[in-house]
Amino acid sequence: MSAPTSPDARRIWAAAKGPVLVGLVILVSSIILVLVSSPSEGGSLDPRSVTQPGSRALAKLLEGQGVTVEYTETAPSSVDGATLLVTRPDLIDPARLSPLIASARDAVLVQPQRWLPDGIGVADRARVDDLPPGCVLAARFGRATMGGATYAAADGESCYESSLVHKGNVIVLGTGAPMTNDKLDEVGNAALMMTLLGRNDRLVWWVPAVADPGREQSVFDLLPDGWKFGGVQLVVAVALFALWRARRLGPVVTERLPVVVRAAETVEGRARLYRRTRATGHAAATLRRAALDRMTPALGLPHDAPPAAVATEVAARGSRSADQVLSLLYGPQPADDRALVRLADELDVLENEVCGG
């Protein structure tokens, strides 16, 4: 005769069966996705990919122009007399990439950051947007979707606000946006890319699949390609499990609190704490940071814009000079409580001038 199941075992199974079932669903779904997913879809700037970040449309246009497009995920054996396009140059060991660039007739590097040819350096970051050419090389193409990284070249030609630099046989692009299926038909993107990549009869399109074994790898380089998608699936599964438990437990029961606390009391309490500890510097930094967070969107600037750029834009809209704005937003800490109050009032006036409030 079999032993009866204890009440504790039944309770444990009742509590654990939900997570176990969710785990089984995730496991089965992952196996199905791996089995049915097609590796030919490609990824960003992949000439085989028809997705928005892919570049199948550009590859077809180049082939129609008579250019032989050779796709590779590993270092090509020879690029003599050809155009070499590298979509992720930072994944390649410079000792392997340099000789290939030297032997190619033309080389195009997309958004390099860690390594650049001699004489070219990373200058800054810029928003990707439709920018004017600003140079002879790209004048006939008009505006193009450029930006991303910007570069400086001592003897080279800079276009599109320094997000395209040409020096010798090397062209550096700050973004791959104009090459994508999503942006190719906008402004002058197609004409620009077909000219840069169609100069020679042969184009070697190098899309490094994994980090080069000769380069130091980060933890994220060692993770498989689908880890982001798997993480999203896990979040969805947890959300569905939470909804299932919420429906089973019922709606949240509200309970009257013995007292009603005004929301402003938390602000006042923090202010009293700053005053008691004489933390005027911390309070001033908080006020300045909050004012910048509210003003930079109105100025069309990113939150990490350099102080000089912020001061110039604010001065153009307000009644203060750029030096006064720099002192107000990035100046020294107030010496006492009165100076802190005066700083808060001036920040309020400045914000009203900029935001129109």
Q: Are residues 286 and 167 in the same domain?
A: no
Residue 25 lies in a domain: no
Residue 241 lies in a domain: no
What's the number of domains the chain is made of? 2
Q: Are residues 283 and 165 in the same domain?
A: no
Q: Are residues 102 and 199 in the same domain?
A: yes
Express each pLDDT in 35-85 by its tens digit. 555 444 557 899 999 999 999 999 999 999 999 999 999 999 889 999 999
Q: Are residues 206 and 318 in the same domain?
A: no
The domain boundary residue, chosen from 217, 232, 259: 217
Q: Give the chain's residues under pLDDT 70.
A: 1-9, 11-12, 15-16, 30-31, 33-42, 210-227, 245-253, 255, 257-279, 357
End-to-end CA distance of the chain: 82
Residue 79 lies in a domain: yes
Residue 142 lies in a domain: yes
pTM for this structure?
0.51
Residue 51 exposed, middle or buried by CB count within 10 Å (0-12, 13-18, 19+): middle
Looking at residue 222, its pLDDT comes to 55
Q: Are residues 208 and 289 in the same domain?
A: no
Residue 292 lies in a domain: yes
Supply the CATH number for residue 190's domain. 3.40.50
Q: Are residues 136 and 210 in the same domain?
A: yes
Rounded CA gap, 357 and 227, in Å? Answer: 45
Q: Are residues 318 and 171 in the same domain?
A: no
Rounded CA gap, 336 and 231, in Å? Answer: 49
Looking at residue 287, its pLDDT comes to 82
Looking at residue 28, its pLDDT comes to 76
Residue 87 lies in a domain: yes
Residue spans of beta strands (DSSP E) within the chain: 68-72, 83-86, 106-110, 120-131, 144-153, 157-159, 164-167, 170-173, 202-206
- Which structural domain range is residue 202 located in? 56-217
Looking at residue 63, its pLDDT comes to 94
Q: Are residues 282 and 210 in the same domain?
A: no
Rounded CA gap, 107 and 109, in Å? Answer: 7
Q: Are residues 172 and 308 in the same domain?
A: no
Q: Which amino acid is residue 259, in one-letter code? A: V
Q: Are residues 73 and 213 in the same domain?
A: yes
In this structure, what token pair is assigned to residue 173?
């692009």
The domain boundary residue, chosen from 175, 195, 217: 217
DSSP 212-255: -TTS---HHHHS-TTHHHHHHHHHHHHHHHHHHHHHHH-SPPP-
Express each pLDDT in 304-342 by its tens digit. 888 888 888 888 887 888 888 888 888 888 878 788 788
The domain boundary residue, chosen from 217, 251, 266: 217
Q: Which residues are CB-neighbours of 312 under 8 A, at least 6 positions away?
A: 322
Q: How many CA atoms lie within 13 A of 214 on its CB side?
A: 8
